[in-house]
Amino acid sequence: MHNAAVPPAPTFFTHRTNKPMAKSLQEHLTATESLARLAAHAERLMAFQRNLETVLPPALVPHARVANFKLGKVVIHANNSAVAAKVRQMGPRIAMALSSSSSKVTEIGVSVQPLPAALTTAAYQRPKLPGAQQKLGLRSFAQDLPADSALRRALERLIKTVTE
């Protein structure tokens, strides 16, 4: 290896204060070759994710995500085995949709990787119970129904449950 002098990075100045302008995140990511490759790979994965979201049925979109791309193989993580099975079933269609002029997708790999519980479930909050006016309205409605009505019995059970 020879010791070639690396030219200094250009310094940008703001037009009013003549002070050096801060570099953008994109400029930092592309400053070195390894970070530039990483940024390009991340961009490619995000493009694959966007395309995947257009191919999958809307109900599956929140449950499948592109995890990696290497040597023509796109790896997709699914939250559960049912989603993984459907994504595998759609594999050829997904591969065609994800292929582009710059990235030829030849294989789709799917694995079950549930999201961490902290990302999937919000803290459980007990639903609010009906207030006094709502209970009174339910009672009044139930009393207007025939005595042998299944709806009346269900409403009376509901009222009894929420008052205890």
Domain 28-120: assigned CATH number: 3.30.300.180
pLDDT attached to residue 4? 52
Q: How far is CA 105 from CA 49, 92, 144, in A?
A: 13, 10, 66
For 131-145, write each residue's pLDDT tens digit.
888 888 888 999 999
Give the predicted TM-score (pTM) of the model: 0.54
Q: How far is CA 81 from CA 28, 52, 154, in A?
A: 39, 18, 38
Q: CA-to-CA distance for 113 and 41, rounded, in angstroms?
A: 21
For 6-51, write each residue's pLDDT tens digit.
555 555 555 566 556 566 766 766 667 777 788 888 888 998 999 9
Q: Where are the domains of the chain?
A: 28-120, 132-163
Whether the Cβ atoms of residue 87 and residue 76 lie closer than 8 Å to each other: yes
Give the single-character DSSP code of 20.
B
Q: CA-to-CA distance for 131 and 103, rounded, in angstroms?
A: 59
For 41-91, write each residue's pLDDT tens digit.
888 899 899 999 999 999 999 999 999 999 989 999 999 999 999 999 999
